[in-house]
Amino acid sequence: MATPQHQASDQSPVPGNPYGAAGEYGQTQAPWNQGPVPGGWGAPAAASHAPRHCRACGGQYAEDFKVRSHMGILIMMKFEHLNGPFCRDCGIAVVRQMTTRALVLGWWGPLSLVIFNPFTLIWNLLGYRKFSKLPPSTPAPGRTHLDTGPAVLRRPQAYVTLIPIAWAVWIISQALTHSS
Ligand SMILES: [Zn+2]
């Protein structure tokens, strides 16, 4: 029963991030986070001196990272996030879920298209890189990793993104042909 002497490093989320004062745990409803999950999921990992275990499975090597998603339709925007810490597998699972969601829902408003969704995608890519550098960890007894599922680009929904890209290319090419 040795308590690991793990000091939570003071890794504050980006200063001045546009999401500002984000809420506490559990505000975001991710598709896989429905219904009660046994074993402390969603319990705030309150004490900052606590060793960092995966929130989802209790695995030992976990990175504290806020995974984001974005939804933007006309002027309506919704910023979603899930706070870590997550272990390698659960982190990758959450990044894939949230990123796919952003690829489907995040393009449909002007600011979302130009600013917020690209930011969300880059942010999650950084998260993906962090999580994939972690060593694999074993879930706590009686718990399992979240299902990583297929890679984002192997999910058909991700290709909804081609619509705004095609549209943007068309707009730019129109602008170029008409300006000459
Ligand atoms: Zn985990």
158 belongs to a structural domain:
yes
162 belongs to a structural domain:
yes
Our count of domains for the chain comes to: 1
Residue whose structure tokens are 């707009």: 171
> Rounded to the nearest whole angstrom, what is the distance from the C-alpha of residue 143 to the centroid of ligand 1?
9
128 belongs to a structural domain:
yes
Residue whose structure tokens are 């272990």: 87
> Rounded to the nearest whole angstrom, what is the distance from the C-alpha of residue 137 to the centroid of ligand 1?
7
User: What are the tens digits of pLDDT across the range 79-96?
Assistant: 999 999 999 999 999 999
- Enclosing domain of residue 94: 62-179
Q: Which residues contact 130 (CB under 8 A, 6 or more apart)?
A: 63, 65, 91
What integer pLDDT is reported at residue 13 of this predicted model? 42
How far apart CA 123 and CA 10 sit, in angstroms, is: 19
80 belongs to a structural domain:
yes
Q: Mean of the pLDDT values across residues 26-45?
A: 46
User: What are the tens digits of pLDDT across the range 49-89?
Assistant: 557 899 999 999 999 999 999 999 999 999 999 999 999 99
53 belongs to a structural domain:
no
